[in-house]
Amino acid sequence: MTARRLGGEPGGQGAGDRPLVGVLALQGDVREHLAALRDAGAEAVPVRRPEELEPLDGIVLPGGESTTIDKLARIFEVREPLIKRLESGLPAFGSCAGMILLADRLVDTAPGQQTLGGIDMTVRRNAFGRQVESFEEDLQVGGLEGGPVRAVFIRAPWVEDLGDGVDVLARVEHGPAAGRVVAVRQGHLMATSFHPEITGDHRVHRYFVEELVRPAGGDER
């Protein structure tokens, strides 16, 4: 089955193709991602049920509580179908908790916590500390034009180790965590430690839509 597409140019309406991108809507900052994706040129819809995965051209795994999202994904019986879609090439972008969900390996996991996997990396949960230690920093993100991205870190993870097939898109540039990897891409999957959906700068979402989702669109399922 070919991916469903709806009318509209990126940032416009009524002409061209707007890829259909879902946001896993079990917990977390779903509304912000939906708005960012629409601004980036996609038709964006919340996803909670297995059957809602089928027509998607891409999916976003939002920030929130990774343990809660993991548990709810099993309760709603969406976990295994989502893993199969990711393994079959569905483009995905995970922010903060979504980075944890896309990691093949975790450090400092909660009891019984599982990931969806897909990116050959080891991620440490809550690596930057507690909520009161949240911070912002301007980052140079590979593949993005227009200068630095204002990155917001809230109880954020970082990447401790990654495989040869993973491209680093951004590292922390200042402070005690300087050099830590906070944005990656491996093929049709990408992830950030930070929350690009809450700043009003939607270049990360536009990169996801234009560089990962659109090139994969229309493939046979």
Q: Is 188 a catalytic residue?
A: no
Q: How far is CA 7 from CA 14, 34, 209, in A?
A: 5, 17, 15
197 is catalytic: yes
Our CA dihedral for 164, 166, 167, 169, rounded to 10 degrees, sits at -140
Give the pair of three-digit tokens for residue 126.
């809550």
Catalytic residue among 33, 43, 96, 202: 96
User: What are the residues facing 151 on neighbouring strands?
Assistant: 137
Candidates 32, 43, 137, 197; catalytic one: 197
- Choosing from 33, 195, 202, 205, the catalytic residue is 195
Q: Which of 49, 53, 51, 50 is nearest to 20 (CA)?
A: 53
Strands 92-95 and 58-61: parallel
Pairing of β 58-61 and β 181-186: unpaired
Q: What is the DSSP string of 119-142?
A: EEEEEETTTT-SGGG-EEEEE--T
Q: Is 195 a catalytic residue?
A: yes
Catalytic residue IDs: 96, 195, 197
